[in-house]
Amino acid sequence: MSGLISGLQDHLYELIRGQELPLPAIDHSHLEFILELLQQAYTGIKADYPAAVSSGDEKHLNSLMVDRLNHLVGADPLASLLVRAVSRGTETKNYDATRFEMRPDIQISLTGRQHLFPLIVECKLIDIAQAKTVDLYCRNGLSRFTTGDYAWTNREAVMLAYVRGTASTASHLSPFLATAMGLSPPEYAVVSLPYKCALSLPDAARSDHGRYFAYVHGGQSGDLPGDIAVWHLWLN
């Protein structure tokens, strides 16, 4: 058993070599620019592949989004100053290396930090008629960030919703998280409810969440990661 634990620690030590966690926050203006890129990619996909948007599954949409995003970055000198590359389903590990082969939906590698520490975008369908609800969005998506599965080195992450119907962050996400916040202890470790951000976009909001874990590596063992800012982009 000690050999297993030692082996897991090896993976963590190598991943975070020379890093102080959590990493410095990404500038808000950079995050809003990335949200605008995501919106632009989706708008183009919606125009070019309407059937995929209306009936495709998450994997299909995510694959289209990653390819479109890389094309947009390659064609835009300003975007390429911020974004190195966009990938889908790249293998990673959770905060204590007990779970390998974790595969976030979209990973955005930024020029200002090592590619080992991308901005994580987790994507979910919101289709109330097909039981793709905000509950699943939070239970199978948002919770990844509070439990240390994803983005445990970072101070921020993105939740992206492909919305079919009229649901919005104001009509569905905010009331759901308000109920979660009223529980004892708060579900999803809600610290602040979603509030409007990236005003140029139709539906973007930010909520803040505590995290249910402590770092387990080296000199930072036992340190808390602090809150994580989750930027929600709902695409309709």
Q: What is the DSSP string of 143-195?
A: HHHHTTSS-TT-SEEEEEEEE-SS--IIIIIHHHHHHHHTSSSPGGGEEEEEE
Q: pLDDT tens digits for 41-59? A: 999 999 999 999 999 999 9
Residue 79, token pair as written in the block: 């975007």
Reported as a pLDDT band with limits 50, 70 and 90, residue 2 is very low
The phi, psi pair for 55, rounded to 5°, reads -140, -5
Q: Which of 56, 186, 23 is nearest to 132 (CA)?
A: 56
Longest dimension (CA), the chain: 55
Name the pairing type of β-strands 156-163 and 228-235.
Answer: parallel
pTM (2 d.p.): 0.95
Report the pLDDT averaged over residues 128-152.
Answer: 98
Share of the chain above pLDDT 70, in %: 97
Q: What is the mean pLDDT of residues 12-31?
A: 94
Sign of CA dihedral 25, 112, 147, 142: positive
User: Which residue reads 């199978």 in tokens?
Assistant: 140
Contact 156, 26 (CB under 8 A): yes
58-78 residue pLDDT tens: 999 999 999 999 999 999 999
